[in-house]
């Protein structure tokens, strides 16, 4: 029942939204080290993004936003953190940039979403 409610929300409205969150990788190109993710898991996440009408706004900075060091010193790196936005939001903020910063105190990179609203020219 809850899943059905989720699919109905927003169908009749034009929504402007942006999600900035820790989620999942969308392809194995967003991962270095460790074991592979099941292909179906990646496809399901991409399908959910597409079904919601969202797009990844891209990023500036290091490719990976999460680093894990195993007990034997090997690193696993992934781009888990991203900004997904609706087409309306992207039209409002076409110059928006998500910056991947660095941190010495967390295994997740801090994110900075820099917004420049579109200037309407008359």
For residue range 3-48, list pLDDT tens digits in order. 443 444 445 455 577 777 778 899 999 999 999 999 999 999 999 9
Could you give the CA distance from residue 122 to residue 105 in angstroms, rounded to a whole number? 48
- What is the per-residue pLDDT for 18? 77
Fold (topology level) of 16-114: Deoxyribonuclease I; Chain A (3.60.10)
pTM summary value: 0.77
Asked if residue 69 has pLDDT above 90, the reply is yes
Q: Is residue 58 a contact partner of residue 102, using CB atoms and an 8 Å limit?
A: no
- Whether 26 and 42 have beta carbons less than 8 Å apart is answered as yes
Helix/strand/coil for 119: coil
Residue pair 82/99 in contact (Cβ under 8 Å)? The answer is: no
């Amino acid at each position: 029942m809850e899943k059905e409610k989720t699919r109905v929300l927003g169908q009749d409205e034009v929504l402007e939204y942006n999600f900035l969150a820790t989620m999942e990788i969308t392809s194995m190109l967003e991962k270095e080290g460790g074991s592979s993710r099941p292909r179906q898991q990646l496809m399901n996440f991409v399908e959910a993004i597409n079904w919601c009408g969202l797009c990844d706004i891209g990023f500036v900075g290091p490719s990976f936003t999460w680093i894990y060091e195993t007990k034997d010193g090997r690193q696993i790196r992934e781009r888990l953190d991203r900004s997904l936005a609706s087409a309306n939001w992207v039209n409002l903020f076409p110059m928006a940039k998500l910056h991947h910063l660095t941190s010495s105190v967390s295994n997740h990179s801090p994110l900075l979403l820099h917004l420049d609203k579109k200037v309407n020219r008359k």
